[in-house]
Amino acid sequence: MLRVGLIGCGAIGTTLAKAIKKEIKDIELIAAFDTEGKKVKEFLKRFKGVSTTDSFDVFMSNEFDLVVEAASQKAVAAYGENILAKTNLMIMSTGSLLDNELFSNLVHVAQENKRKIHLPSGAICGIDGIKAAKLRKIFSATLTTTKPAKTLNVKTKTKKTIFFGTAEKAVKLFPQSVNVAATLSLVSLGGKKTRVKVVADPNAKQNMHEIHVKGEFGEIYTRTKNFPFKENPKTSYLAALSAIRMLKNITEGLDIGT
């Protein structure tokens, strides 16, 4: 039985907790942590028997095989190294990893303690192919993200490009919206060379991510249209499903894909 701890008791964390309880065999959610007392109380009501706290030290007093981060980039920076010193870590807020110093520190701690960092593919597809392509030279990697204007807090009557630049800058300006940019950059050209365009569309009903990668292997183009998460429209529902799938991969005997 895989003993799991959860950081983040919001919409994504609650969805993962439901899946662990109902869908995933051989996993036990033993504890959850969130700094917001209100979220802790709501989580306790829904998941009786799960030790839930607003104290990181109390949370880490449990024995885990894996901790799942479903909170924020700040949470990864604040707690990641301490977690990896003790157990394995799944990171959903991948935008945090474009901080080169933090990324280097996390990898160092993981290697030193023989731990594993798991990164779900999130709200995009094609990551397996791009990982393989990186074994040879990649020439260019671009992500175009189009979202409903209201979820980006943009008032416009027509489709409008509100950002075009590096993935590194994108994740700082849109920390809750373009973790996919970080994921793509980590498997392709890095935060400084991966290009990102963010488009606000007042008529959009879904979050759309288009990836275009060229390299020695040839060319990859993918388009993913995701429904927003009802409880948190800035996030795609597929991001949560991706994490659930990764948890299943960890516990099942068969793992398909690169």
> Count of domains in the chain?
2
- Same domain? For 80 and 139 the reply is no
pLDDT score of 191: 95
Q: Of 108, 118, 209, 212, which is the active-site residue?
A: 209
Specify if 192 maps to a domain.
yes
pLDDT score of 227: 87
> What pLDDT digit, counting tens, does each position of 168-210 carry?
999 889 887 778 999 999 999 999 999 999 999 999 999 999 9
Residue 137 buriedness (CB in 10 A; 0-12 / 13-18 / 19+)? exposed
Q: Is 98 helix (H, G, I), strand (E, B) or coil?
A: helix
Q: For residue 51, how many other CB atoms are within 10 A of its CB?
A: 16
Q: Where residue 6 falls among pLDDT bands split at 50, 70, 90?
A: very high
- Same domain? For 52 and 176 the reply is no
> What pLDDT digit, counting tens, does each position of 37-83 carry?
999 999 999 999 999 999 999 999 999 999 999 999 999 999 999 99
DSSP state of 31: E
Percent of the chain with pLDDT over 90: 83
Q: For residue 42, how many other CB atoms are within 10 A of its CB?
A: 16
Strands 88-91 and 27-33: unpaired
- Same domain? For 54 and 88 the reply is yes
Q: Which amino acid is at 128?
A: D
> What pLDDT digit, counting tens, does each position of 89-109 carry?
999 999 999 999 999 999 999
Query: Range of 80's domain?
Result: 2-122+238-251
- Same domain? For 178 and 227 the reply is yes
Tokens of 2: 């895989």
Check if 209 is active-site: yes
- Same domain? For 242 and 230 the reply is no
- Same domain? For 114 and 171 the reply is no
